[in-house]
Amino acid sequence: MIIHIFDSQQELNQTGAGIITALIQTKPNAVLGLATGGTPVGIYEELVKNYNLGRVSFSHVKSFNLDEYVGLPEDHPESYRSYMNHHLFDHVDIQKDQTHVPNGNAADVDAECEEYDARMADVGQVDLQILGIGHNGHIGFNEPDRELTAGTHQVELKAETRQANARYFPSMDDVPTHAITMGVGSIMKAKSIILIVRGADKAEIVKRALYGPITTDCPASLLQTHPNLIVLVDKEAGRALVE
C-alpha cells in the first residue's frame, strides 16, 4: 500500500491523472475500471487536458464502470452513463463501443450481471481500477453486510447511501433504490487500484479501511489485501492517518 496525502486538490487531481496517463502511454490498449460521483471529477478533467495537449490517446482503451442505477433511463442526467459521457467520454477519442457501463434497464438484471462479468473476463484483467469510498466503507455499491458478493450483482441501496446521493436529485423520492455493481471479487482482480478520498467527513472511515480490521462490515478494508493499492487523499481526508 502506498499512501499520498496532498495539500491541494489540484495536486491530487494531477497525480491521479498522471498515473492513468502514464499507464496508457506505456500500454495504449489498457483496460480501465472507472468510478463516478464527485470524487474523480477533477481527475477526469485533468485527463481531458492531457488529451487536448496531445499527451495521451484513448483510441485503444477499454473501460468498465463500477456500477449503474437500476431503472434510471440511460440518458437521464444522473445515470452513470450520462456522467461518464459528460465528464470524460465525450471529450476524448475513446471508442464508445469499448466503454462498458452496466445496463440498469435490462429486462433480466441477473442475466445482465452475468454478461457484464463475461465481458470483463474476455479482456483478461483490468489494468487500473479507480475507487472512491462511502461514509459506511462501501466500494462500488458493495454495502456493509455479514457477507459480500464476488461478482457483479444487483443491490438494494442502504438509506445512508441514498441520502449521500440525494444531492444529485430533486428529492429523496427520486433517488433510485437499487443498483448494479461490480462485486468485491471483480474489483480485487484489477492489477492496480487507486483509492481516491476527499474531505474531513471521510477521515475516520479512511483510517478504518486502511488500518482497521479486515471485515465485511467495512468492505473497503478488503483493499488492505491487494498487492498494488495506491491511496490518494487530501489533507482533510488523511488527517486521521497522521495523528
pLDDT tens digits for 16-62? Answer: 999 999 999 999 999 999 999 999 999 999 999 999 999 999 999 99
Count Cα atoms within 13 angstroms, Cβ side, for 126.
Answer: 29
76 a catalytic residue: no
Residue 173: pLDDT band with limits 50, 70, 90: confident
CATH for 2-241?
3.40.50.1360
Burial grade of 193 (CB within 10 A; 0-12, 13-18, 19 or more)? buried
Catalytic position from the list 13, 46, 65, 67: 67
Q: What is the pLDDT of residue 158?
A: 83
For the chain, the domains span: 2-241
Whole-number mean pLDDT of the chain?
95
* CA angle 176–9–21, rounded 5-degree value: 85
Q: What is the pLDDT of residues 73-107, one digit of tens each?
A: 889 998 999 999 999 999 999 999 999 999 999 99
165 pLDDT tier (thresholds 50, 70, 90): confident
All three cell numbers of 190: 484489477
pTM: 0.94
Q: Which of 136, 160, 178, 236 is catalytic?
A: 136
Q: Per mean pLDDT, which of 140-149, 150-159, 184-193 is the most reliable?
A: 184-193
Query: Which residue out of 46, 112, 117, 143 is catalytically annotated?
Result: 143
pLDDT band at 243 (very low <50, low <70, confident <90, very high): low
* Active-site entry in 87, 138, 153, 226: 138
Which set of grid coordinates corresponds to residue 118? 463475461
Q: How far is it, in rounded angstroms, from Cα 219 to Cα 215?
A: 7
Instruction: Answer yes or no: 142 catalytic.
Output: no
Q: Is the pLDDT of residue 157 over 90?
A: no
Active site residue 138: yes
Task: Over range 147-167, report the average pLDDT.
Answer: 89
Instruction: Identify the pLDDT of residue 9.
Output: 97
For the chain, give the number of residues: 243
Burial tier of 227 (Cβ tally within 10 Å: 0-12, 13-18, 19+): exposed
The gap from C-alpha 151 to its chain's centroid, in whole angstroms, comes to 15
